[in-house]
């Protein structure tokens, strides 16, 4: 008879805690799950061990005697692959939440926190939960970043490998589709599916961002025409990148495109991030104002992530504000995030702007945002960005479901 031996390497956990009893308890939980656990009780010991031995998961007590665990987070963020991190601390929840946010921003995508005194059931659940694939995704992006050149991108544009996918924008109070955002996608025969976070910066550096944006604009207008026929309020949004916002000819060129195609200006929205808008306020103001005068909508994208949010809001002629998904994602569980979301909604309304919440991933968030008057939502709860035909199929199915729900309610 064949003996089957499990050759899968054990899942390795490092426990960093200056409280020896706590360290022993966490070690015990890990061992019972079948993990290989190691424990150190000082910052210095952890600092020496972390770069030299691979761990799948590291639990860190924030207070380590005369040192704190924050310095270790910086060290861990530089590892490849980046392990999972569980921050354990008796500090107040705001400090714990802020630490997790900082860890994620530094590149530890799979960072979570647990309060002390530690709940062993919760600890076991957290340790057995599947790791998110954030770091592997980042590695593959990094690899693509190195390999792809501006020439590849030029070729891809000519071969029409880059195309828009459309993500619906939903009126939160009714569930109606009020428009969509066009997001660039690249299916490359050589590199596979390449994300816009990789190829948009490359297009900007390599000088083909204008050609790409023009292609996105043309394709998006063509797509939206079918929907505007049935619903004249339907608006398609296209992202405008940094380099284009310093090109003073853009408003006239967009106007020419609108005239050529007969596409209504009010059915087009351009999305600009606040950081871009504030980089050269005078020039950006000039371009955005002229677009608004021509009837094109202007949306402030990723609100809250830049350094000048309020100032940009007060000065620029935006008609829509999109709350960045990093705030929306955890707004029901993180009171600090909820405050950002709720105050963004209130302030946007003060300026007579529509508010869009990005990254709605569940029905509870949808309802909570609707309850505070957020106008529109975008996110996986409704749909991911879809290619043309898939969007059409999704649109029909969504409205069938919506009408059936309304009919059932009488
Ligand atoms: P963005 O304009 O803020 O687009 C929203 C991003 O959030 C999209 O990522 C979208 O797929 C993602 N998203 C939407 N809903 C959810 C959700 O519920 N959960 C999660 N986790 N993510 C969600 P994507 O397509 O990777 O685009 C990233 C950024 O790339 C865009 O951010 C935009 O700044 C840029 N980008 C995309 N297409 C273009 C383009 O044609 N031109 C320019 N200049 N930039 C573009
Ligand atoms: Mg956008
Ligand atoms: Mg955004």
What pLDDT score was predicted for residue 142?
Answer: 57
Q: Average of pLDDT values for 357-386?
A: 97
Those residues whose C-beta lies under 8 Å from the C-beta of residue 83, and which sit 6 or more positions away, are 54, 55, 56, 57, 58, 76, 110
How far is Cα 282 from Cα 99, in angstroms, rounded to an integer?
A: 37
Alpha carbon nearest to ligand 1 atom 22, residue: 359
CA 328/CA 358 separation, integer angstroms: 7
* Cβ-proximal residues to 250 (8 Å cutoff; 6+ apart), any chain: 240, 244, 287, 291
Write the DSSP assignment of 4-36 as a string of letters: P---SPPPEEEEE-S-HHHHHHHHHHHHHHT-E
What is the pLDDT at residue 355?
98
pLDDT higher at 397 or 134: 397
Question: How do 192-194 and 177-188 pair as beta strands?
Answer: antiparallel
Q: Which atom of ligand 1 is nearest to the CA of 164?
A: 41
pLDDT given at position 140? 55
**The predicted structure's pLDDT at residue 49:** 95
Q: 354-357 and 376-377: which strand pairing? A: parallel
CA of 250 to the centre of ligand 2 (A): 18
CATH superfamily of 12-128: Response regulator (3.40.50.2300)
Residue 350 predicted with pLDDT over 70: yes
- For residues 234 and 231, what is the distance between their CA atoms, to the nearest angstrom? 6
Res. 160: pLDDT tops 50 = yes
Atom of ligand 1 nearest to the CA of 378: 15
Taking the C-alpha atoms of residue 296 and residue 221, their distance in angstroms, rounded to an integer, is 13
Most confident range, picked from 91-100, 273-282, 347-356:
347-356
Q: Ligand 1: which of 202, 301, 358 to mutate, judged by most atoms within 8 Å of the beta carbon? A: 358
Confidence of residue 134 (pLDDT cuts 50, 70, 90): very low
Distance CA 117, CA 89 (A): 8
Assign 3-state DSSP to the chain and report helix, strand, coil percentages, each to 5. 50, 20, 30
345-351, long-range: CB within 8 Å, 24+ apart, which pairs? 345/369, 345/372, 345/373, 345/374, 347/310, 347/313, 348/313, 348/321, 349/373, 351/313, 351/314, 351/318, 351/321
CATH code linked to domain 150-409: 3.20.20.450
> By three-state DSSP, how is residue 132 classified?
coil
* 292 pLDDT above the threshold of 80: yes
* Ligand lying closest to the C-alpha of residue 240: 1
Q: How close is the Cα of 183 to the center of ligand 1, in Å?
A: 6
Residue 2 Cα to ligand 3 middle (Å):
56
pLDDT given for residue 409 in this prediction: 79
Burial-class residue 325 by CB neighbours within 10 Å (0-12, 13-18, 19+): middle
Q: What is the pLDDT of residue 221?
A: 97
Pocket of ligand 1 (CB under 6 A): 167, 183-184, 195-197, 200, 213, 216, 239, 241, 271, 301-302, 325, 358-361, 378-380, 385
pLDDT over 50 at 3, yes or no: no
Distance in Å, CA 220 to ligand 3 centroid: 17
User: Tell me, what's the pLDDT at 5?
Assistant: 43
Residue of the CA atom closest to atom 25 of ligand 1: 183
Give 219-235 pLDDT, tens digit per residue.
999 999 999 999 999 99
Cα 299 to ligand 3 centroid, rounded to whole Å: 10
**Ligand 1: which atom is nearest the Cα of residue 212?**
41
What are the start-end ranges of the H helices in 50-187?
A: 70-77, 93-106, 120-128, 134-147, 150-158
Look over the chain and give the mean of its residue pLDDT values, rounded to a whole number: 88
Residue from 104, 239, 300 whose mutation best tests the ligand 1 pocket (most atoms within 8 A of CB): 239
In which band, very low, low, confident or very high, does the pLDDT at 131 lie, cut at 50, 70 and 90? very low
Where do the domains of the chain lie? Answer: 12-128, 150-409
3 state DSSP class of 136: helix
Of the pLDDT bands very low, low, confident and very high (cuts 50, 70, 90), residue 379 is: very high
Confidence band of 285 (pLDDT split at 50, 70, 90) = confident
More confident: 104 or 318: 318
Burial 165-184 (b: 16+ CB within 10 A, else e): bbbbbbbbeebbbbbbbbbb
Task: Give the distance (Å) from ligand 2 centre to CA of residue 320.
Answer: 11
């Amino acid at each position: 008879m064949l003996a089957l031996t499990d050759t899968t390497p054990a899942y390795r956990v490092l426990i960093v805690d200056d409280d020896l009893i706590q360290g022993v308890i966490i070690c015990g939980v890990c061992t019972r799950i079948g993990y290989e656990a190691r424990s150190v009780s000082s910052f210095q010991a952890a600092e020496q061990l972390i770069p030299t031995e691979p761990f799948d998961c590291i639990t860190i007590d924030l207070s380590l005697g005369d040192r704190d665990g924050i310095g270790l987070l910086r060290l861990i963020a530089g590892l490849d692959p980046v392990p999972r991190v569980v921050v354990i601390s008796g500090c107040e929840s705001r400090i714990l939440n802020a630490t997790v946010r900082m860890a994620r921003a530094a590149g530890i995508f799979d960072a979570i926190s647990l309060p002390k005194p530690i709940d062993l059931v919760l600890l076991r659940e957290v340790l057995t939960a599947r790791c998110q694939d954030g770091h592997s995704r980042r590695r593959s992006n990094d690899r693509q970043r190195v390999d792809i050149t501006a020439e590849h991108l030029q070729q891809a544009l000519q071969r029409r490998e880059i195309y828009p996918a459309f993500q619906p924008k939903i009126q939160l109070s009714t569930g109606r589709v009020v428009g969509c955002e066009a997001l660039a996608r690249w299916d490359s025969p050589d590199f596979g599916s390449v994300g816009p976070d990789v190829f948009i910066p490359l297009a900007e550096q390599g000088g083909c961002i204008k050609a790409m944006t023009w292609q996105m604009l043309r394709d998006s207008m063509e797509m939206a025409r079918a929907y505007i026929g049935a619903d004249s309020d339907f608006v398609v949004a296209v992202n405008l990148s940094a380099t284009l916002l310093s090109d003073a000819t853009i408003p006239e060129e967009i106007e020419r495109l609108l005239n050529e195609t007969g596409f209504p200006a009010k059915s087009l929205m351009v999305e600009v991030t606040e950081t871009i808008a504030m980089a050269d306020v005078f020039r950006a103001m000039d371009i955005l104002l002229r677009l608004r005068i021509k009837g094109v909508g202007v949306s402030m994208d990723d609100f809250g992530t830049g350094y000048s949010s309020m100032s940009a809001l007060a000065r620029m002629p935006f008609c829509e504000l999109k709350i960045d998904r990093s705030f929306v994602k955890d707004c029901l569980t993180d009171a600090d995030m909820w405050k950002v979301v709720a105050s963004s909604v209130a302030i946007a309304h003060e300026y007579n702007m529509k508010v869009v919440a990005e990254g709605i991933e569940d029905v509870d968030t949808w309802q909570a945002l609707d309850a505070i008057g957020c106008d529109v939502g975008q996110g996986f709860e409704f749909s991911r960005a879809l290619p043309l035909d898939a969007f059409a199929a999704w649109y029909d199915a969504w409205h069938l479901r919506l009408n059936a729900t309304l009919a059932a309610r009488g």
